[in-house]
Amino acid sequence: MLGRCLNRPDPGQDTRNMHKKNVFYAQSGGVTAVINASACGVIETARQHRDRIGKVYAGRNGIIGALLEDLVDTGKESAAAIAALRHTPGGAFGSARFKLKGLEENRSEYQRLIEVFKAHDIGYFFYNGGGDSMDTAHKVSRISRQLGYPITCIGIPKTVDNDLVVTDTCPGFGSVAKYVAVSTREAALDVASMARTSTKVFVLEVMGRHAGWIAAASCLAGEKPGDAPHIILLPEVPFAQQRFLGRVKQCVDKHEYCVIVVSEGTRSRNGRFLAEAGTRDAFGHAQLGGVGPVVAEMIRKKHGYKYHWAVADYLQRSARHIASRVDVEQAYAVGKAAVELALKGHNAIMPIVVRKSDRPYRWSIGHTPLSRVANREKMMPARFISKDGFGITAAGRRYLAPLIHGEDYPPYRNGMPRYVELKNIAVPRKLKTGFKI
Amino acid sequence: MLGRCLNRPDPGQDTRNMHKKNVFYAQSGGVTAVINASACGVIETARQHRDRIGKVYAGRNGIIGALLEDLVDTGKESAAAIAALRHTPGGAFGSARFKLKGLEENRSEYQRLIEVFKAHDIGYFFYNGGGDSMDTAHKVSRISRQLGYPITCIGIPKTVDNDLVVTDTCPGFGSVAKYVAVSTREAALDVASMARTSTKVFVLEVMGRHAGWIAAASCLAGEKPGDAPHIILLPEVPFAQQRFLGRVKQCVDKHEYCVIVVSEGTRSRNGRFLAEAGTRDAFGHAQLGGVGPVVAEMIRKKHGYKYHWAVADYLQRSARHIASRVDVEQAYAVGKAAVELALKGHNAIMPIVVRKSDRPYRWSIGHTPLSRVANREKMMPARFISKDGFGITAAGRRYLAPLIHGEDYPPYRNGMPRYVELKNIAVPRKLKTGFKI
Q: Do A190 and B310 touch (CB under 8 A)?
A: no
Tens of pLDDT, residue by residue over A217-242, are 999 999 999 999 999 999 999 999 99
- CB nearest B324 (choices: A98, A282, A415): A415
Residues of A assigned a catalytic role: 161
- CB nearest B61 (choices: A178, A197, A220): A197
| Predicted local confidence at residue A316, as pLDDT | 98
Residues of B assigned a catalytic role: 161
Q: Quick check: is B347 in a domain?
A: yes
Both A199 and A315 in one domain: the answer is: yes
| Predicted local confidence at residue B2, as pLDDT | 38
**Strand pairing partners for A437?**
none
| Predicted local confidence at residue A289, as pLDDT | 58
How many structural domains does chain B have? 2
Cα-to-chain-centroid distance, residue A334: 13
H helices within A226-376, ranges in order?
A: 241-255, 291-303, 314-318, 325-343, 370-373
User: Quick check: A121 and A21 in contact, CB under 8 A?
Assistant: yes
**Strand pairing partners for B353?**
B365
Residue A288 belongs to what domain range? 173-320
- B426/A210: higher pLDDT: B426
ipTM of the predicted structure? 0.94
Q: Quick check: is B424 in a domain?
A: no
Q: Do B282 and A284 touch (CB under 8 A)?
A: yes
Q: Quick check: is A185 in a domain?
A: yes
A435: closest CA among A60, A67, A101, A144?
A67
| Distance separating alpha carbons of residues B340 and B353, to the nearest angstrom | 15
| Distance separating alpha carbons of residues B165 and B379, to the nearest angstrom | 9
Domain end point (choices A320, A347, A365)? A320
Measure B104 CA to nearest chain A CA, in Å.
Answer: 23
Tens of pLDDT, residue by residue over A110-128, are 999 999 999 999 999 999 9
| Distance separating alpha carbons of residues A405 and A399, to the nearest angstrom | 12
User: Which chain A residues touch B289 with a CB distance below 8 Å?
Assistant: 287-289, 293
- CB nearest A313 (choices: B96, B308, B321): B308
Both A27 and A136 in one domain: the answer is: yes
pLDDT mean over A248-254? 98
B23: closest CA among B71, B82, B84?
B71
Both A351 and A312 in one domain: the answer is: no
Domain end point (choices A286, A320, A354)? A320
| Distance separating alpha carbons of residues B292 and B262, to the nearest angstrom | 7
Whole-structure pTM value? 0.94
Both A17 and A155 in one domain: the answer is: yes
Q: Do B279 and A281 touch (CB under 8 A)?
A: yes
What is the SS3 assignment for chain B?
CHHHHHHCCCHHHHHHHHCCEEEEEEECCCCCCCHHHHHHHHHHHHHCCCCCEEEEEEECCCHHHHHCCCEEEHHHCCHHHHHHHHHCCCCCCCCCCCCCCCCCCCHHHHHHHHHHHHHCCEEEEEEEECHHHHHHHHHHHHHHHHCCCCCEEEEEECCCCCCCCCCCCCCCHHHHHHHHHHHHHHHHHHHHHHCCCCCCEEEEEECCCCCCHHHHHHHHHCCCCCCCCCEEECCCCCECHHHHHHHHHHHHHHHCCEEEEEECCCEECCCCEHHHCCCCECCCCCCCCCHHHHHHHHHHHHHCCCEEEEECCHHHHHCHHHCEHHHHHHHHHHHHHHHHHHHCCCCCEEEEEEEEECCCCEEEEEEEEHHHHCCCCCCCCHHHECCCCCCECHHHHHHHHHHHCCECCCCEECCEECCCCCCCCECCCCCCCCCCC
Measure A163 CA to nearest chain B CA, in Å.
Answer: 20
| Predicted local confidence at residue B67, as pLDDT | 97
- CB nearest B190 (choices: A90, A187, A417): A90
Write out the H or E segment, with its range, that includes residue A93: none
Residues in CB range of A361: below 8 A, 6 or more apart: A326, A355, A401, A402, A405
| Distance separating alpha carbons of residues A156 and A144, to the nearest angstrom | 19
Both B84 and B64 in one domain: the answer is: yes
| Predicted local confidence at residue B271, as pLDDT | 87
Measure A104 CA to nearest chain B CA, in Å.
Answer: 23
Q: Quick check: is A351 in a domain?
A: yes
Q: Quick check: is B42 in a domain?
A: yes
| Predicted local confidence at residue B78, as pLDDT | 98
Q: Do B185 and A416 touch (CB under 8 A)?
A: yes
Measure B261 CA to nearest chain A CA, in Å.
Answer: 13
Both B330 and B238 in one domain: the answer is: no
Ranges in chain B, pLDDT < 50: 1-17, 278-288
Q: Quick check: is B429 in a domain?
A: no
User: Quick check: A308 and B314 in contact, CB under 8 A?
Assistant: yes
Q: What is the CATH number of the domain that holds A238?
A: 3.40.50.460
User: Which chain B residues touch A202 with a CB distance below 8 Å?
Assistant: 314
User: Which chain A residues touch B288 with a CB distance below 8 Å?
Assistant: 279, 287-289, 293-294, 296-297
Both A129 and A194 in one domain: the answer is: no
Q: Do B194 and A409 touch (CB under 8 A)?
A: no
| Predicted local confidence at residue A277, as pLDDT | 57
Q: What are the counts of helices (DSSP H) followed by strands (DSSP E) for chain A? A: 15, 13
Tens of pLDDT, residue by residue over A404-423, are 999 999 999 999 999 999 99
Both A101 and A209 in one domain: the answer is: no
Both A144 and A253 in one domain: the answer is: no
Q: Do B313 and A310 touch (CB under 8 A)?
A: yes
Tens of pLDDT, residue by residue over A299-335, are 999 999 999 999 999 999 999 999 999 999 999 999 9
| Predicted local confidence at residue B103, as pLDDT | 79
- CB nearest A406 (choices: B89, B197, B415): B415
Q: Which of the residues B60, B194, B204, B218 would you substitute to probe the A interface, choosing the one with the greatest number of A C-beta atoms within 10 Å?
A: B194
Both A192 and A99 in one domain: the answer is: no
Q: How confident is the model at residue A101 (pLDDT cuts 50, 70, 90)?
A: confident
User: Which chain A residues touch B287 with a CB distance below 8 Å?
Assistant: 281, 288-289
Cis, peptide link before residue A171, omega less than 30° from 0: no
Question: Is beta strand B258-263 parallel, antiparallel or unpaired with respect to B201-206?
Answer: parallel
Write out the H or E segment, with its range, that includes residue A396: helix A394-400
User: Which chain A residues touch B64 with a CB distance below 8 Å?
Assistant: 196-197
Q: Quick check: is B107 in a domain?
A: yes
3-class DSSP state for residue A381?
coil
* Amino acid identity for residue A28 in this structure: S
| Distance separating alpha carbons of residues A222 and A225, to the nearest angstrom | 8
User: B282: nearest CA in chain A?
Assistant: A282
- CB nearest A89 (choices: B96, B186, B220): B186
User: Which chain A residues touch B317 with a CB distance below 8 Å?
Assistant: 190
Tens of pLDDT, residue by residue over A49-98, are 999 999 999 999 999 999 999 999 999 999 999 999 999 999 999 999 99
User: Which chain B residues touch A294 with a CB distance below 8 Å?
Assistant: 288
Q: Do A204 and B287 touch (CB under 8 A)?
A: no
| Distance separating alpha carbons of residues B292 and B207, to the nearest angstrom | 11
| Predicted local confidence at residue A285, as pLDDT | 45
User: Which chain A residues touch B318 with a CB distance below 8 Å?
Assistant: 183, 186-187, 189-190
Both A135 and A211 in one domain: the answer is: no
Q: Do A90 and B183 touch (CB under 8 A)?
A: no
Q: How confident is the model at residue A6 (pLDDT cuts 50, 70, 90)?
A: very low
Cα-to-chain-centroid distance, residue B399: 18
Measure A17 CA to nearest chain B CA, in Å.
Answer: 31
Measure A133 CA to nearest chain B CA, in Å.
Answer: 15
Q: Do B415 and A181 touch (CB under 8 A)?
A: yes
Q: What is the CATH number of the domain that holds B326?
A: 3.40.50.450
Both B235 and B346 in one domain: the answer is: no
Q: Quick check: is A130 in a domain?
A: yes
Q: Which of the residues B196, B227, B328, B422 would you substitute to probe the A interface, choosing the one with the greatest number of A C-beta atoms within 10 Å?
A: B196
Q: Do B282 and A281 touch (CB under 8 A)?
A: yes
- CB nearest A97 (choices: B92, B197, B417): B197
